[in-house]
């Protein structure tokens, strides 16, 4: 939930998602996964990201709807390229 909030905020602010996740959040997310950070930390972070997402939903420069045709064309090209590299086509 924290990772999704973090990446959602980044997407709505910048139009991109950085992978791998940048520090310090990469370390924090790892520590959350390992149980090294408290439930309260996770819930507080998630609440902050949720509040920011609600704000950004009204101000983001991203379009209201995705360009599904563009995404599908990219996906087909990605599959075809991989299949050709593996000799499956």
> How does pLDDT run across 28-71, given as a tens digit for each residue?
999 999 999 999 999 999 999 999 999 999 998 888 888 999 99
pLDDT of 25 above 90: yes
Bond preceding residue 13 cis, omega within 30 of 0 = no
Please identify which residue in the block is written with the tokens 């910048």.
14
- Pick the residue with more confidence: 73 or 64? 73
Instruction: Report the pLDDT value the prediction gives residue 89, as an integer from 0 to 100.
Output: 83
What percentage of residues in the chain have a pLDDT greater than 90?
88
């Amino acid at each position: 939930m924290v990772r999704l909030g973090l990446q959602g905020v980044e997407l709505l602010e910048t139009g991109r998602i950085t992978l791998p996740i940048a520090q310090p959040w990469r370390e924090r997310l790892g520590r959350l996964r390992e149980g090294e950070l408290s439930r309260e930390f996770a819930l507080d972070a998630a609440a902050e990201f949720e509040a920011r997402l609600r704000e950004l939903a009204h101000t983001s420069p991203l379009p209201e709807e995705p360009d599904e045709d563009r995404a599908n064309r990219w996906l087909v090209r990605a599959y075809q390229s991989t299949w050709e590299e593996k000799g499956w086509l």
